Amino acid sequence: MNTLSYALLAFLAREQSSGYNLMLRLQPFWPAKHSQIYPLLSHMESEELLTSCWVVQCEKPDKKLYSITEKGIRKLKEWLYVPLADPITRDELSMKTFCMWLTDLDNAIDIIESRRVHLVKKLEHLHLKISDKVREDLEFGTPEFFDYMLYQKAIYTTTSGLDWTNMMLDILKEQRTKQNLK
């Protein structure tokens, strides 16, 4: 059982869902392609952690709805007592910043600016999402409460990333002004 399997259990513990929908909802937390998810789901079904049934839809293709079993819920609860693994982040921007001394100021600014744009969009999206959540007044211990806290987590990291790019851009642009004066 890898983390992705537990991620699937985690979503299915809340409500039954199709592989396609799981793939979409998983992206912010544990990015995975459908080609990874579909075989995993059928494997988990063979392990009796899940059950499935086909649902016919009108104006949309048929879908296979997965539900979590008692055994699946037990597995998921056990996992919550397994020591937490460290997070893994791989960011090309760190490596590009590391060799930024090899390129020109304009390119350096373009690189950081492209990340800034990405983070601004992400933050806007998160603020939209969280404003939906606040209305349903949050009761501690409900799934929605933890959804809200996860949006906060994403907002914290995105904001700190944005702060860094803004600091970098200030320094780089100031430097460009100095250069142009010469």
Partner DNA sequence: TGTCCCATGTAAACCGTTACATGATTGA
Partner DNA sequence: TCAATCATGTAACGGTTTACATGGGACA
CA distances from 140 to 33, 72, 106, 144, 156 (A): 33, 24, 49, 9, 20
Choosing from 34, 132, 153, 170, the residue that interacts with a second copy (CB under 8 A) is: 153
The binder of 130, among DNA, a second copy, none, by C-beta within 5 to 8 A per type, is none
Q: Using the structure block, give the residue that is written with the tokens 């937490």.
A: 84
The window from 16-24, 47-55, 108-116, 126-134 that contacts a second copy (CB under 8 A) reads 108-116
Residue 36 lies near DNA (rule: CB under 7 A): yes
Question: How many positions of this chain bind DNA (CB under 7 A)?
Answer: 27
Q: Are 148 and 130 in contact (CB under 8 A)?
A: yes
Residue 120 lies near a second copy (rule: CB under 8 A): no
Q: Residue 175 CB: number of other CB atoms within 10 A?
A: 13
What is the maximum alpha-carbon separation in the chain? 72
Residue 22 lies near a second copy (rule: CB under 8 A): no
Q: Which is nearer to a second copy, 65 or 162 (CB)?
A: 162
8-state DSSP, 103: S
Residue 1 lies near a second copy (rule: CB under 8 A): no
Alpha-carbon distance of 59 to 167, in angstroms, equals 50
Alpha-carbon distance of 126 to 110, in angstroms, equals 24
Binding site for a second copy (CB under 8 A): 3, 6-7, 9-11, 13, 29-31, 73, 76-77, 79-81, 83-103, 107, 111, 114-115, 118, 140-143, 145-147, 149-150, 152-153, 156-157, 159-161, 163-164, 167-168, 171, 175
